[in-house]
Structure 1
Amino acid sequence: MKLRTPAVVLLAAATALSLAACRDSRSDGAGGTQTNLKIMVGGIDKVIYLPAKLTEQLGYFKEQGLTVDLATQQAGVNAENSLIAGDVQGVVGFYDHTIDLQTKGKCLQSVVQLANIPGEVEVVATAKADQVRSAADFKGRKLGVTDLGSSTDFLTQFLASQHGLKAGTDFTEVKAGAGSTFVASLENGQIDAGMTTDPTVAQLTSTGKGKVLMDMRTVEGTKAALGGLYPASSLYMTCDYVAAHQDVVQKLANALVKTLKFVNTHSAAEIAEKMPADFAGGNKDLYVKAINDTKSMFNADGRMPADGAANVLTVLSQFSPNVKGKKDTVDLSKTYTTRFVDKS
């Protein structure tokens, strides 16, 4: 028998360790499941997407053996572009993108539905509050949306349409972004009102610069404004990725559902305490208020309500250029799945 030299033994051991490390970081040895991945969030500091960062803060991703890099884009439409380009493996954003993209031949799937309502608020500048009391008063106004072609764009058009108003002819939509850019737009008169989320809502109302016109942070407010549930915040991924990496998707679902249960069993103050200090923007009390005003939007199990998905399709079929005239071609069953959260 030929004896191997110490150098050969060391080289063989190093090679084995290297191969094992590759398996640990890239696959499960059978289906190519990743454990290092990047997820884009459509505004990581928005309370409507709070579960993403909270899951990281609580250590639930690591608990599942995942290393998740959370990146951010202030508009969901930009986040979806990153997913389609393959720059990220998942997006925490509005579910409606899965429907919109299906009509363009792209298959995206919500694997964890974080909320069954939008969490959006139509805020009017305090100086215009006496003039703009409902969507019927949108006529002749400049209305802020996150971005043209965004979820807030479609929702704004839907609210106006209930009073016979059309974008471009009866009112003007303005790209106002979120956070400080939205606040500035409302302050300097670039917009009369607009759709945004917490903590921006809390900032505007607490300073007296804005007033709530329509509140879709509650089930009641959402049904009043949109005629039913409107599933929004979700983790969605390409159908190809879901099919090829079911193990990692299951781990993501396990982590996020555990976070949803945490949100539903802890106070806003307790949740805020777990979040990065800079998310409070120097005003922790205001941040706690923002979470408290919004936290009821999150469901406890990550499941998609079928009637809610149908309502989203109804809205998009009227105002999304991609979905108009194609409602009957959309297969909603391909836009979401509950099989992962059912196992969590």
Structure 2
Amino acid sequence: MSISRRDLLKLSGIAGATVFAPALVRAQELEKKEVTIAVGGQALIYYLPLSIANINGYFKDEGLDAKVVDFAGGSKALQAVVGGSADVVSGAFEHTITLQSKGQAYRTFVQQGRAPMIVLAVSKKTMPDYKSPADLKGKKIGVTAPGSSTNMMASFFLSQHGLKPADVSYIGVGAGAGAITAMRTGQIDAIANLDPVISTLVKEDAVTLIADTRTLKDTKQVFGGNMPSGCLYTSQSFIDANPNTVQALANAIVRADKWIQAASPDEIAKTVPEGYLLGDPDLYKLALKGNMEALSPDGMVPEDGPQTALNALAAFVPNFPKDKIDVSKVWTNDYVIKANKKYPHA
């Protein structure tokens, strides 16, 4: 039986395909199934997409065994990843820029929020006669943790009104009941925090709001442009070594982003752990409505956002090496674009 050259080529093509197919399957397999995600204040609406992805089983659907570890603030969560006890951070976008300024390559790969959702408020108890930001000189401002995005937002706002970071005292009060207690008892004069903490204090008539970044309009007013907020970020080396794992994480968060946009406040309040509601489901639902615009609808980082974040950091951190930062290296929408193709709808 003779065989032509063309048949030989066909056969070699088939053989190549059978060799290639398992390699293709392997390429799509997760490099790392067990992933630890560090977060600072998981009960905050700021981190709602992370909670929904976890509760609704979206990480599991992607083949991941995701463990979420909660810390007192975003700067603590960052330390966990840099220290090696976590793989990924669910935290504020600008931390990637801070890390680059210290020679460390970290990158955001999916967005949870498109506005910071941070509110700066003063105590009606210790500052009943508040007139302007200048009145905060010498006062104690509660933030989730020193160095966190709440700290940056407060300092950035104060710098716009002629105050330096050293003109006030920043005190870490966390992102839950402890923060509320600190304000109620007069341990702090002002607070930079998020919901449901802020909405709780507003309902009690305990504070006066002086800066609010829960809407895109107010965010642009405070920061001068789109300011990306909650995101998943990790080291560039982790992304390079685990691209399929990173894609799986992005898929889960994009799916959660879309579920939140399609869900009612009632549905969300029933889905999250009872502890998130701080004993007042109606207040939590009200806070959800107030923050919905600030939550990302699709996981995409806005094109002008990274530069806005860099400008804010440069204004906040003394002697920040702004000219040495390459913002193109601290974010990518590549994984989110693929995730949106996989999950075009909620």
TM-score, scaled relative to structure 2: 0.86
Q: Percent identity?
A: 34
Partners of 1:142 and 1:101 lie apart in 2 by 27
Aligned to 1:51: 49
- Contact persistence 1:31–1:245 (CA under 8 A): no
Which runs of structure 2 are paired with 1:7-86 in the superposition (5 Å)?
28=26, 33-86=31-84
1:143 aligns with 2:138: no
Shift of the 281–184 alpha-carbon distance from structure 1 to 2, 3 Å rule, reads closer
Instruction: Select the residue among 82, 103, 124 that pairs with 2:122.
Output: 124
**1:181 Cα offset (Å):** 2.0
Aligned to 2:337: 342
**1:29 Cα offset (Å):** 7.1
1:292 aligns with 2:326: no
Which runs of structure 2 are paired with 1:203-242 in the superposition (5 Å)?
203-242=200-239
**1:31 Cα offset (Å):** 7.7
1:248 aligns with 2:227: no
Shift of the 28–132 alpha-carbon distance from structure 1 to 2, 3 Å rule, reads farther
- Contact persistence 2:156–2:312 (CA under 8 A): yes
- Contact persistence 1:144–1:174 (CA under 8 A): yes
3-state SS of paired residue (1:122): strand
- Contact persistence 2:140–2:168 (CA under 8 A): yes
3-state SS of paired residue (1:235): strand
- Contact persistence 1:179–1:200 (CA under 8 A): yes
Aligned to 2:265: 268
1:195 aligns with 2:192: yes
3-state SS of paired residue (1:39): strand
**1:143 Cα offset (Å):** 1.6
**1:129 Cα offset (Å):** 6.0
**1:197 Cα offset (Å):** 0.5
User: Runs (4+) of structure 1 moved beyond 4 Å?
Assistant: 27-32
3-state SS of paired residue (2:41): coil
Partners of 2:119 and 2:299 lie apart in 1 by 22
Shift of the 277–181 alpha-carbon distance from structure 1 to 2, 3 Å rule, reads closer
Instruction: Select the residue among 174, 178, 181 that pairs with 2:178.
Output: 181
Which amino acid letter does the alignment assign opposite residue 260 of structure 1?
Answer: D
3-state SS of paired residue (2:165): coil
Which runs of structure 2 are paired with 1:148-163 in the superposition (5 Å)?
148-163=146-161
Partners of 2:263 and 2:215 lie apart in 1 by 18
3-state SS of paired residue (1:156): helix
Partners of 1:145 and 1:206 lie apart in 2 by 20
**1:112 Cα offset (Å):** 0.4
Note the aligned Cα RMSD (angstroms): 1.9
Q: Structure 2 stretches of 5 or more lacking a match? A: 1-24, 340-346
Partners of 2:133 and 2:263 lie apart in 1 by 35
Instruction: Tell which deviates more after alignment, 257-266 or 178-187.
Output: 178-187
In the TM superposition, what whole-angstrom CA distance separates every residue of 1:45-86 from its partner, at most 9, and x where no partner exists? 111011111111111111111111111012111111110111
- Contact persistence 2:118–2:153 (CA under 8 A): no
Shift of the 191–107 alpha-carbon distance from structure 1 to 2, 3 Å rule, reads same
Partners of 1:100 and 1:244 lie apart in 2 by 23
In the TM superposition, what whole-angstrom CA distance separates every residue of 1:275-333 from its partner, at most 9, and x where no partner exists? 12232233222222222221221121111112111011011112225xx3411111111
In the TM superposition, what whole-angstrom CA distance separates every residue of 1:178-217 from its partner, at most 9, and x where no partner exists? 2222222212222211100011112111122223222111
- Contact persistence 1:108–1:236 (CA under 8 A): yes
Q: How many residues align?
A: 315
Partners of 1:67 and 1:325 lie apart in 2 by 38
- Contact persistence 1:116–1:298 (CA under 8 A): yes
- Contact persistence 2:177–2:278 (CA under 8 A): no
Aligned to 1:19: none
Partners of 2:114 and 2:259 lie apart in 1 by 17
1:331 aligns with 2:326: yes
Partners of 1:32 and 1:48 lie apart in 2 by 28
3-state SS of paired residue (2:53): helix
Partners of 2:146 and 2:55 lie apart in 1 by 32
Instruction: Tell which deviates more after alignment, 250-259 or 173-182.
Output: 173-182
- Contact persistence 2:109–2:250 (CA under 8 A): yes
